[in-house]
Structure 1
Amino acid sequence: MTEPSSSRPVLIAADALTGTPSALDQNALRELVRATADLVRTRVRDLKPGTALAIALRNSVQAVALQFAAEELGLVPLPLAPRSDHTALRAAARSSGATVLAHLSPGPAARLEIEKLPDSEPFAEPDPDWGLAISTSGSTGSGTTVFLSRTALVRNARAFADRTGLGAEARYLVTAPLWHVGGSVVGLRAALASGAVLLLPPEAKPGILAEWVDRYRPTHLAGVPTVLFDLLGKRSGPSAADGWPGQIITGGMAVEGTLVGALHALGSRVTVLYGMTEFTNAVLSARIDPGFLPPTGFVGRPFPGVECRIEPVAGQSREAEPYGHLLARGYPQAAAVVRDGRPRPLETDADGWYRTGDLARATADGYVIVGRSRDMVIRGGVNICAATLVDAARRTLRAKEAVVQALPSERLGEDIALIVHGPSGEECRSLQRDFLAQLPHGTRPGYLIVSRSPLPRTANDKYDLAGMYRRTVALVRPGDAASSGLPIVSVDHWS
Structure 2
Amino acid sequence: MPHPRVPQPLPVPAGPAALDVLPALRTALDGGGPALLPVPADQPDEARRTAEALGEQPVGADGEPIALVIATSGSTGTPKGVLLSATALRASAEATHRGLAGPGRWLLAMPAHHVAGMQVLIRSLVAGVEPHAVDTTGGFRPERFADAARAMPATGDPRYTSLVPTQLRRLLDAGGEGLAALRDFDAVLVGGAAAAPALLARAADEGVRVTTTYGMSETAGGCVYDGLPLDIARVRVEGGEGPIALSGPMLASGYLGRPGAAEFAGGWFRTGDLGRWRQDRLEVLGRVDDLIITGGVNVAPAPVERVLTEQTGVREVCVVGVPDPEWGQAVVAAVVPADPAAPPDSEALRGAVRERSGAAATPKRIVFLPELPLRGPGKPDRRGLAARLGVP
TM, length-normalised to structure 2: 0.85
Counterparts in 2 of 1:121 and 1:337: CA distance versus 1, 3 Å: closer
Q: 3-state DSSP class of the match of 2:267?
A: coil
Indicate the residue corresponding to 1:74 in structure 2: 33
Please report how far the alpha carbon of residue 422 of structure 1 lies from its aligned counterpart in structure 2 after TM superposition.
0.4
Indicate the residue corresponding to 2:327 in structure 1: 412
1:440 pairs, out of 358, 371, 378, with 358
Q: Distance in 1 between matches of 2:303 and 2:295?
A: 17
Matched, 1:181 2:115: yes
The answer to whether the 8 A contact 1:173-1:221 is kept is yes
Within a 5 Å distance, the mapping from 1:183-262 to structure 2 comes to 183-185=117-119, 187-203=120-136, 205-206=140-141, 207-216=143-152, 219-236=159-176, 240=180, 244-262=184-202
Q: 3-state DSSP class of the match of 2:318?
A: strand
Matched, 1:389 2:281: no
RMSD over aligned Cα atoms: 3.0
Q: Distance in 2 between matches of 1:130 and 1:208?
A: 35
Q: Where is the helix percentage greater, Structure 1 or Structure 2? A: 2
Q: 3-state DSSP class of the match of 1:393?
A: helix
Q: Distance in 1 between matches of 2:198 and 2:60?
A: 50
Counterparts in 2 of 1:270 and 1:346: CA distance versus 1, 3 Å: farther
Indicate the residue corresponding to 2:4 in structure 1: 49
Matched, 1:370 2:285: yes
Counterparts in 2 of 1:243 and 1:93: CA distance versus 1, 3 Å: same
Matched, 1:153 2:89: yes
Counterparts in 2 of 1:444 and 1:125: CA distance versus 1, 3 Å: same
Q: Distance in 2 between matches of 1:345 and 1:202?
A: 41
Please report how far the alpha carbon of residue 173 of structure 1 lies from its aligned counterpart in structure 2 after TM superposition.
0.9
The answer to whether the 8 A contact 1:49-1:73 is kept is no
Indicate the residue corresponding to 1:470 in structure 2: 387
Counterparts in 2 of 1:140 and 1:217: CA distance versus 1, 3 Å: farther
Indicate the residue corresponding to 1:458 in structure 2: 375
Deviations 1:148-178 (A, max 9, x none): 01221222211111112232xx332121222
Q: Distance in 1 between matches of 2:377 and 2:123?
A: 22
Q: Distance in 2 between matches of 1:367 and 1:160?
A: 17
Q: Distance in 2 between matches of 1:417 and 1:121?
A: 40
The answer to whether the 8 A contact 1:400-1:421 is kept is yes
Counterparts in 2 of 1:459 and 1:434: CA distance versus 1, 3 Å: closer
2:48 pairs, out of 90, 97, 100, with 90
In the alignment of these two chains, the number of paired residues is 377
Indicate the residue corresponding to 1:327 in structure 2: 245
Please report how far the alpha carbon of residue 251 of structure 1 lies from its aligned counterpart in structure 2 after TM superposition.
1.4
Please report how far the alpha carbon of residue 277 of structure 1 lies from its aligned counterpart in structure 2 after TM superposition.
0.9
Please report how far the alpha carbon of residue 144 of structure 1 lies from its aligned counterpart in structure 2 after TM superposition.
0.7
Counterparts in 2 of 1:48 and 1:279: CA distance versus 1, 3 Å: closer
Task: Give the gaps of 5 or more residues in structure 2.
Answer: none
1:195 alignment partner AA: G
Please report how far the alpha carbon of residue 377 of structure 1 lies from its aligned counterpart in structure 2 after TM superposition.
0.9
The answer to whether the 8 A contact 1:161-1:193 is kept is no
Q: Distance in 2 between matches of 1:47 and 1:273?
A: 36
Please report how far the alpha carbon of residue 84 of structure 1 lies from its aligned counterpart in structure 2 after TM superposition.
5.3
The answer to whether the 8 A contact 2:322-2:387 is kept is no
Q: Distance in 2 between matches of 1:349 and 1:280?
A: 14
Q: Distance in 1 between matches of 2:308 and 2:337?
A: 10
Identity %: 25
